[in-house]
Chains A and B, each alone.
Chain A
Amino acid sequence: MFFNAYEAVIGLEIHVQLQTKSKMFCSDSAAFGGSDNEHTCPVCAGLPGALPVVNERALEYSVKTGLALNCRINPRSVFSRKQYFYPDLPKGYQISQYDKPLCENGHVEFFLDGHRKRVSIVRAHMEEDAGKSLHHGEYTLIDLNRAGVPLLEIVSGPDMRTPAEAAEYARTIRRIVRYLGVCDGNLEEGSMRCDCNVSVRKRGESRLGTKVEIKNLNSFRFIEKAIEYEIIRQIDCLESGDPIHQETRLYDPDKNRTFMMRSKEEVQDYRYFPEPDLLAVELDAEWIQKVKQNLPELPLARAERFMNEYKLPAYDAFILTQERDLADYFEEVAHACGNPKSASNWVMTEFMRELNEAKKEPFDAPVSAKSLGKLIELIDKGTISGRIAKSVFAEMWQTAKEPETIVKEKGLVQVTDTAAIAKIIDDVLTANPSAVTEYKSGKEKLFGFFVGQVMKATKGQASPAVVNDLLKEKLKS
């Protein structure tokens, strides 16, 4: 590509909203929505005299995530106040973590274009969300329903070099937090938010270029697009000798460009200091160990196991392990039928197509994993053909009936009776003498035509294997 002479350096800060019932430091609901300022109390509205108390579950979810990201969990971590004035920040400070975060020094791995990529996690720390500002031109309105909702900020190292890597890293984080059940990873609703730090430098140079932050990217595609735009913009600056300013930019998806939000030349002085209203969080090693033992198998490890244990191709393994429920579903199907490759094919094609169309979760689907397993078993035993199975599956999705019931009701059992099939083949050949002549004179493509005619005559119930064998034999003579 044209920017071969340059290299981009990309790091991501991802805010993950922890799926707790109540807020980080008070008992108000953390649920999305609510009427104006409904989820407020003295604590999250910053009334005089109110004090924060740490939500136990938020702490546990953060530790879980930290462990899944291979971080060191600090046995003692400290909340700090990040101070700035903004109308949707009720206390004039955000309770966050600064020099002693909960999680540090981790990494995640993922595959991109067949290559294994590792990205370091510098830190992951707990903090509270701010409220919402609704801008109306001549005035601004403040809703504090979100104020105090628990967040985990995951900061990567500057380890990514391409927009695709950055997007895949973000997807990896999303997969992990969804596997853990700590966050729904919904970028559009803002329960997962990405800020990207992008700089470029001449290839081979070790010094980092000036960093630009792109804020609030609400889809993986936008992450990729925005970074791509930003890299090109910065290279253009370097090429034409224009300075790159350290600043915060926003991405406009309609115009596919980034634009300046605020300059960082006037450095914000956040005056961080330890939050005196909260004592240090001290975690004992035993408890951390227990959380670790209860971690689910994570997506990458699971994909690799699927390759080893079920001999699935990498492509299948990665698709199936995108979501924990789908992977669980697949494994149930595979165990039910004893044919993992077939299970994988069925789950990835028929099942996922219907699932996406119906916008359902695997375990809410009308076709249970056991039933799908039975369907595959029916094929493997030769009771029905693969073609028939597809229509049976469609029927199962419509009616939620068991495959055997459908096969029996509709009389779909495969015809394997050689004599019966031979009779039908004879009829087909007799009815199409010119085609037979053509075939025999070398137009072998017509074989498919004969198969089609036979299957049509048997309403698809003839065993394809038997049809193939008999037809070849008869056409030879």
Chain B
Amino acid sequence: MLDKETAVKVARLARLKLDDSELENYSKVLSAVLEHFNQISEIPTDGVEPLVTPTEMPVSVREDVVEKSVDSSRIVEAAPEMTGRLFKVPPVV
């Protein structure tokens, strides 16, 4: 169950400003799908290691070499607001 009160909490955790009708709708829809998803709770899984990546290969690593793949001036060019080459945001306390 994802009641409206929970929905408010979750929305805050996810940093989503939702209006009342959205909260109402999401809590209704998500409660319905969660009820359906709850079927999996009956599948016995004691001692089963969760599977994250379906092909469980060993990780491939990279050598410790400095390399510029993209000019860093291009990294900042899409920013909505800048001061010089720094990203600008509201005050953080």
Contacts and interface: CB of A to CB of B under 8 A. Distances in A.
Do A's and B's CB atoms come within 8 Å in the complex?
Answer: yes
Contacts of A45: 75-76
A42 B84 CA distance: 19
Interface of A: 20-22, 26-29, 35-42, 45, 47, 53-59, 78, 85-87, 133-144, 269, 271, 274, 276, 278-282
Contacts of B75: 37, 40-42, 45, 47
A290 to B, nearest CB: 16
Contacts of A78: 52
A251 B15 CA distance: 31
15 contacts: A27-B62, A37-B75, A39-B72, A40-B76, A42-B69, A45-B75, A47-B75, A53-B62, A87-B92, A136-B91, A139-B88, A141-B83, A276-B53, A280-B56, A282-B58
Contacts of A278: 59
Residue of A29, A45, A47, A54 most packed against chain B (CB within 10 A): A45
A276 B52 contact: yes
Given A27-B69, A278-B59, 15 more contacts: A22-B64, A22-B65, A26-B69, A27-B62, A35-B85, A41-B68, A57-B64, A78-B52, A85-B15, A139-B88, A142-B87, A279-B56, A279-B57, A281-B59, A282-B58
A37 B57 CA distance: 35
B63 interface: yes
Interface string B24-44: 000000000000000000000
Contacts of A20: 64
Nearest to B57: A279
B48 interface: no
Contacts of A280: 52, 56, 58-59
Given A22-B65, A138-B91, A279-B58, A41 B83 contact: no
A78 B85 CA distance: 35
B47 to A, nearest CB: 16
Contacts of B93: 135
A133 B85 CA distance: 13
A401 B75 CA distance: 54
